[in-house]
Amino acid sequence: MEIILLLAHMEAGGTLARSAREALHVAADLHKSLTGSKLVVGLIGENVQTAADSIAAGPAMKYFGVTGKDFGQSRYATDAAAAEAICKAAQATLVVAPATLRWNRTLPGVAQRLGGRVDTHVTGVSSTPAQGVGVNRWYYRQRMEAGLQRAQRPWFLLIDPGSQPACECGAGKANVELVAVNLSDACRRTTVVGIREPAADAQTIRPDAQLLFVTGAGWTKKQADGRTHLPEAEKLIRDFLQLGRASLGSSKSLVDQSGEGQAVLSFLSHLNQVGQTGATPRHPKGLSSCCHGEEPHTVGWRFVGERRAINLDPNCGWARGKADVLYVADAFKVMAKVNELLAAKSR
Ligand SMILES: Cc1cc2nc3c(=O)[nH]c(=O)nc-3n(C[C@H](O)[C@H](O)[C@H](O)COP(=O)(O)OP(=O)(O)OC[C@H]3O[C@@H](n4cnc5c(N)ncnc54)[C@H](O)[C@@H]3O)c2cc1C
């Protein structure tokens, strides 16, 4: 009999992230398709009751928790000890968890301790009576997809955020069984003194955003008047990100400019790059601006649902079947108008 454990850590305020609810959706589906299986939830954080209550009307039959100040922050030693203790208490055979930064670096080690196996970048889980549990996952920066089964247990499945619908199970009152963890002094050797991160409005990569807004090198090129308009470009893009809550992507040409000492958009880094040598983000919609749409770039758009582009050139790469809609227009004018409409709507 499979015991499916949904393993989640808390966000600030003791809540569950959307990625945890996506993993719960996978775990619940698996539970439904595996006759006789059990679904349990394991939560780790300073306090987990609010999170447990928020999904208490769901299909899980039991809730385990590891709580206390030591578990409020991301730290390998304490996270691994907590996850190991919950897996043992639940006697889990299948551990489903969101592929967050925190779990990606912890759960492979826990799988090793428990003599199990782990798969990361999982985007689909299924089960049939004939073949058992199978997963789909990606290799080589999401270029090759594989389907595989494993007999080894426990099997840890790290679900790629954005690849699943979120479980909408309702709230209730959960009875959380607390699991004790004996932390050695070595576990506390690393002290988290604080987190250095960009201010909320400087954070341009938003995996949960409905829209991916991609900027290309055209924003920094000479325009019809023979001059560049960098400050204006910066303002248009920033305003749009703020008003539309979009995630910011970029072509390689634009992010590379900073390395060459040219004038650049100050809030862009290589982390924003989309494409063959960049990221392959997942968003329901994408809007490209001042970017030519060359293959090494657009290959990074494969998981973007609806694609639109703004380019002055009617023969740009997007026009060759890579965008659903191409606006042959000046992106400076289009985005100024879009911002004006969004601002009016938000008033
Ligand atoms: C091995 C390899 C790997 C690569 N990996 C990547 C990758 O991961 N990601 C990536 O992005 N690239 C990658 N590239 C580079 C890629 O081939 C292109 O060179 C790059 O994507 C071009 O960037 P761009 O479209 O922003 O710039 P450009 O090609 O300079 O295009 C600028 C566009 O802006 C338009 N434009 C200018 N002004 C306006 C305006 N006012 N309104 C509307 N449109 C305007 C122009 O018409 C033009 O089409 C790779 C290349 C190689 C060889």
Tens digits of residue pLDDT in 321-338: 999 999 999 999 999 999
At 190, is the pLDDT very low, low, confident or very high (cuts 50, 70, 90)? confident
- For residue 98, what pLDDT is reported? 97
Q: Count helices and strands (H / E) in the chain.
A: 8, 14
**Tens-digit pLDDT profile for residues 111-138:** 999 999 999 989 999 998 888 899 999 8
Give the rounded percent of residues in the chain with a pLDDT score beyond 70.
97
- For residue 199, what pLDDT is reported? 65
Q: Is 318 a residue whose pLDDT tops 90? A: yes
Give the predicted TM-score (pTM) of the model.
0.73
Distance, in Å, from the CA atom of 168 to the CA atom of 176, rounded to the nearest integer, reads 20
Q: What is the whole-number distance in angstroms between the Cα of residue 302 and the centre of ligand 1?
A: 17
Please report, to the nearest 10 degrees, the dihedral formed by the alpha carbons of residues 138, 139, 141, 142 taken in order.
-30
Q: Which amino acid is at 136?
A: N
- For residue 13, what pLDDT is reported? 87
Q: Which amino acid is at 180?
A: A
Q: What is the whole-number distance in angstroms between the Cα of residue 171 and the centre of ligand 1?
A: 47
Q: Which of 30-39, 162-171, 264-273 has the highest mean pLDDT?
A: 30-39
Across 150-282, the runs of DSSP E, i.e. the strands, are: 155-159, 176-178, 211-215, 247-250
Ligand 1 atom with the shortest distance to the CA of 216: 26
**Contacts (Cβ under 8 Å, ≥6 apart) of 97:** 6, 7, 8, 23, 103, 107, 156, 157, 158, 159
Only one residue has tokens 């730290």, namely 75
The set of protein residues with a Cβ atom below 6 angstroms from ligand 1 is: 216-218, 221, 223, 251-254, 273-278, 290-292, 294, 296-297, 300, 310-313, 316, 330-332
Q: Is 205 a residue whose pLDDT tops 80? A: yes
- For residue 12, what pLDDT is reported? 83
- For residue 128, what pLDDT is reported? 85
Distance, in Å, from the CA atom of 290 to the CA atom of 131, rounded to the nearest integer, reads 48
Locate 186 and state its tokens.
């070595």
Residue nearest to atom 38 of ligand 1 (CA): 218
Q: Which amino acid is at 234?
A: E
Distance, in Å, from the CA atom of 285 to the CA atom of 53, rounded to the nearest integer, reads 33
- For residue 198, what pLDDT is reported? 66
- For residue 261, what pLDDT is reported? 67
Ligand 1 atom with the shortest distance to the CA of 274: 9
Average pLDDT over residues 205-229: 94
* Mean confidence (pLDDT) of the chain: 93
